[in-house]
Amino acid sequence: MNTKHILCKLAVGLSLALLTQTIQAQSSRIKDFNNNGWYMYFGDHKLHSKWGLHTELQWRRHNLIKDPQQLLIRTGINYDLTPAAMFTLGYGFIETHPYGDFPAAGTFPEHRIYEQLQLKSNLDRVGLMHRYRLEQRWIKPADADSYTYLNRARYMIKATLPLVGPTLEAKEPFLAVYDEVFVGFGNNIQRNIFDQNRAYAALGYKFSNAATLELGYLNQIVQKANGVVFEHNHTLQVSLFYHLNFTE
């Protein structure tokens, strides 16, 4: 048997092994379906020609609004690198409650530092936003005595389409869609290198140059730390964006 035949057999064997492993992994997955509601406020407030303040509050509920899911408070310092590029350094506090068919052992806190780069551009009538974020996370599970440190990277692309004219102006509606992927890395990541994915579509209205509202649907897939349980969360998302300019 020549070398070529040996290599072909090894390649076929490896492919079959990988296929078998993938099928077994998928067959062992457990799906957890939830209906959630996220009610959110975002603000980027201009304090200087280059500097600004980010403020954010998210009230996340399980069973649309009935039960608690998460409370997220986030703030940060913005710096405009260019008119289309903004860097943010910030802190977030998150309190997560047990929910779903595979809940956590109890309510637990998370402290988070993040670094973010946001880029804006246009493609004909469509406004595009790319957001790159790194997170350093300290999580204390309810059944643990100390915090666990985790790293995570996130990438979002969002598109906004005006429904009236070529550009989005005050008192006009628009459509918005985005997708965001989360990837964990570092020593304490278990089996969930893929952390989650969020796919979103919404109808929005720009009340003024400062205030915008979006009402949309978020499809969220979350892989739990054990790599077995996958949450499939259908989420009503209500978002208020209110940006103040204190330099004017």
Checking if the pLDDT of 14 tops 60, the result is no
Checking if the pLDDT of 20 tops 50, the result is no
Torsion, Cα of 220, 221, 226, 229 (10° steps): 100
pTM: 0.87
When pLDDT is cut at 50, 70 and 90, the band that residue 22 belongs to is very low
What domains are defined for the chain?
33-242 (2.40.160)
Torsion, Cα of 153, 139, 34, 72 (10° steps): -80
Kindly state the helix (H) or strand (E) to which residue 22 belongs, with its residue range.
helix 3-27
Q: What is the pLDDT of residues 145-194, one digit of tens each?
A: 999 999 999 999 999 999 998 999 999 999 999 999 999 999 888 777 89
Q: What is the pLDDT of residues 67-94, one digit of tens each?
A: 999 999 999 999 999 999 999 999 999 9
Between 222 and 192, the higher pLDDT residue: 222
Provide the percentage of residues in the chain whose pLDDT is more than 70.
Answer: 89
Of the candidates 100, 86, 189, the residue with the CA atom closest to the CA atom of residue 137: 189
Quote the mean pLDDT of the chain: 91
Phi, psi of 26 (to 5 degrees): -70, -35
